[in-house]
Amino acid sequence: MSDRILQDQEFQLPVSRVFIAATLLAALLLDWLPWQGIWLTFRPDFVALVLLYWCMHKPYHVGISVAWTVGILADVADASLFGQHALAYSVLAFSGIVFYRRVLMFNLHQQTLQIFPLFLLAYTVYAMVHWQLHGNISWKYFIGSVVSSLLWAPMTILLQALRRPRAAPNQT
């Protein structure tokens, strides 16, 4: 029960919009790393991870408009079809906002199972755009949804650790 109380208190902690923007920018930079070979197949979508985290934990601060804006930036940076990431991130943000109460009821390991269909939906949008452009579906998109789901727990732990207020050095 005490874990539930701590999680509720963590949910109510204020977070600055600058910090949210900084985490989204850091995720964009991670997505822009030069992935090659087999690593390109297993590359998670860091922007989707961070975006879904903020949609789950601060749904009144980060929503569909932020997802669309970050998606447009990702489209420009990747030189991909304009609007592909924006559409996928908007669908992901909408899903995260709709299901955030349900997902946050579970512990982190159970959340991974709840998050997987949301990432699968976003990666399905990527696959449908690829199908419209090239006439076939690349199944490599769906491997990224598994890897992104597996990174949900470590990424959540990292962002929660960064959000916690620091005690002053002179306090005990």
CATH number of the domain enclosing 83: 1.10.1760
CA distance 32 to 85: 14
**Residue 41 is assigned to a structural domain of this protein:** yes
Full domain range(s) for residue 8: 2-163
**Residue 169 is assigned to a structural domain of this protein:** no
Q: How many domains does the chain have?
A: 1
Would you state the pLDDT for residue 2?
Answer: 44
Spans of the chain below 70 pLDDT: 1-13, 141, 165-172
CA distance 49 to 115: 10
Residues 6+ apart with CB under 8 A from 74: 28, 31, 47, 80, 85, 86, 89
The pLDDT tens digits of the residues spanning 120-157 come to 999 999 888 888 888 888 777 688 899 999 999 999 99
**Residue 171 is assigned to a structural domain of this protein:** no
**Residue 168 is assigned to a structural domain of this protein:** no
> What's the pTM value of the predicted model, to 2 decimals?
0.85
What does DSSP assign to residue 168?
P
**Residue 170 is assigned to a structural domain of this protein:** no
Would you state the pLDDT for residue 6?
Answer: 47
**Residue 172 is assigned to a structural domain of this protein:** no
**Residue 58 is assigned to a structural domain of this protein:** yes
